[in-house]
Each structure stands twice: as structure tokens, then as C-alpha cells.
Amino acid sequence: MKKQTCLIAQFVILTVFPALAQKYSNEFLSIGVGARSHGLSGAQVALTDDITAAYWNPAGLARISAPMQAAAMHAEWFGGVGQYDYLGFGKSLRGANSEYLAFSLIRLGIDNIPYTINLVNADGTINYDNVTEFSAADYALMGSYARALKNPALTVGGSVKVIRRVIGTFGRSWGFGADLGIQYRKGNLMLGAQGRDLTTTFNAWSFRLTDREKAVFDSTGNELPESGAEITRPRVILGGAYKLKAGSKTTITPVLDLEFTTDGQRNVLVSSDFFNMDLRLGAEAVYNNLVSLRAGAGNFQRLKDDFNPDRERLIAQPNFGIGLRLNRVWLDYAMTNIGNVATVQYSHIFSVRLDIVSKTR
């Protein structure tokens, strides 16, 4: 029984300890913010033009018409086990809406994780009062700036981010990185590009384990986590969108993003050891600038047939969303299968966005 308890405790710890490797580093920052973007499967690099652009493409901040804007998002995954929250605020500088400053906070956390490492006493007896709880949480604080160039069709922007990752009392990490973006708009055509983690984002991990915790790791045949650096390699996202008229009051905008990574082979649309390309598609229909309907597809993967391993099939994650504008308030909802593209595990995402206008305007 003692050995089984130690195994359970070890499993709980190892499921939240990050691997100090370059692949899939800081993946909580790949999820995305804003229900509008989730409804479009994250195809946002060319389309984004609100406060969430600080994440998707900071160049889009320069296209915000309101002098100040704020946004918030909340999502729960896997029956409420995972909590994902976002807050954003931005303000135009020197009264020019073509120059914008924004701050964003992102948190992904799993709280109330049972910590059973002390469940069994030294004499072999079980004491449930020794079971405590801990949290595993990832935080990102971003500061973003954008401005329009002399050519009004072009805007540029950048973000710097500070990353804090915490696992109970035994794991800590600080990280720093930067993103750059550009957008081009001419008539109904929208193009964009973003370089994410261009500086190569470094996370410096430190672990502090008690002698008791080290003994559990040793008795279960697991390696002790060591302090070190976790590296997030750069990635580039290219995007395009085109606004189409569908009647006097309705527009339909198809969007497309292509994401390129070089951190090792991934199960994406184009996959290799040194080059990968992921595809995100979406379309947004807006009626009278009041009601929006959205649909998208992303996370394309190739799955092997269980009965014929030589045969593969291509699957994708479908997303849906709606939006409602109430004067200066935008309410957005998205339904997305974040958990697993092979099974139906839909999550509900809600976000709100507010234009803040002074009384003198």
C-alpha cells in the first residue's frame, strides 16, 4: 500500500513538472485569447484589430478606434479542472489612435491538486489529514506598443513578455521573450505577419525538494527534476483575410493563417524534422455591425488507422462562435474542442470587450 501511495504521489507531481526541452515549451501561450479568435480557430494575424491584438499580432493595436479599450476572457476545460483567464487594457498615446500602448495578463492554472506524498507515515499507517493541495499555474504579463507608418496601410507593433510558472512550493520559473508584427490593409484586403518569440524565450527553472520528496522520487525509480533552462524557439505566422459584401448590411470575411515552426517534428499539416506548417481557417459573417457568426477549423493532424497502421486520415478541430455588439460593449462566445481532436470534448469560452470613451468625446 505504501508503494502504491508513493506511485500515486509521484504521478501527480510528474504530470505537472515540465520537461526541460525545447519542443512545446510555454505551450500555454499557444492557446490564444478572446472568444472571437477561438471561433475562427485562431486565424487572426491579419484580421485582429482590437485589444487582443497584443497577443495575436501587436500591429493590430494601431487600428483600434477607441481611445481606451479593455477586455477579459474566461474558459474552463475538462470539467472545470483547468482555468484559463485573460485581462487586457490599452490606451492611445498623445490623442492619436494610430499609436497604442497595451498591457495583457494571461493565467492558466490547475488548482486544488491533491498532494499525497505524505499520506503514508513512516510506520506504514495512513493518515488522510496529511493530504494537502497545491496549484500548477502559468502566468504571462505582456507590454505591447503599435503605431501606423507613413504609409497608412501599414502598421507595426511589438510585445515584450515576462513569464512566471509555478508548481506548488517545489518548482519556479522566470522567462522573458519578445514578439513583432506587421499588418497591411488596402481596401478589403488584409495581410499580416507575426514573429513570435523572436528573441528565443528562455525560462530559468529552479526546483526545491525536501528529503522526503527526494526519497519518493528515488524509491519509484524516477529522476529528480533539475534546475535549468527551457527554450522556446521562434515561430512565424503569416495570415490573410478579405472582406466580401453579402447584401447592404452583411459582410463575410474568410481568414487564413499559416504557422511555421522549427523546433522538431510536429503532427501538423506539413510535418518534418526541420520544418513544420500548421493551417488555421475561418470565416466571420457580420450583420449590421451588431451580430457576428463565426466558424473555423484548425489543429490539423494525421491519425493512423487502428486496423491498418499504414493508412492515415487527416482530421481537424472545428470551432464555432457568435458575437453581439451592445453600443460600446462586445460580447463573444466560442465553442471549441480544445482537449482532443479525435474525441468530442467541447469547451465553452466567453469574453467581453469594452470601448472606453471620455465624456468630452
Is this prediction's pTM over 0.75?
A: yes
**CA separation for the pair 310, 110 (Å, rounded):** 38
User: Which residue segments constitute the domains of the chain, with CATH numbers given?
Assistant: 2-356 (2.40.160.40)
pLDDT tens per residue across span 255-291: 999 999 877 778 787 788 778 889 999 999 999 999 9
Per-residue pLDDT tens over the stretch 40-74: 999 999 999 999 999 999 999 999 989 999 999 99
pLDDT band, residue 345 (cuts 50/70/90): low
C-alpha closest to that of 199 among 242, 232, 153 = 232
Q: What percent of the chain has pLDDT over 90?
A: 47
**pLDDT for 3:** 41
Express each pLDDT in 116-157 by its tens digit.
777 766 666 777 777 777 788 999 999 999 999 989 899 999
End-to-end CA distance of the chain: 70
Position 257, amino acid: D
Structural contact between residues 330 and 322, judged by C-beta atoms closer than 8 angstroms: no
- Summarised one tens digit per residue, pLDDT across range 237-251 is 999 999 999 888 999
CA distances from residue 332 to 210, 220, 247, 325 in whole angstroms, order as listed:
46, 47, 24, 9
Residue 79's pLDDT band, with cuts at 50, 70 and 90, is low
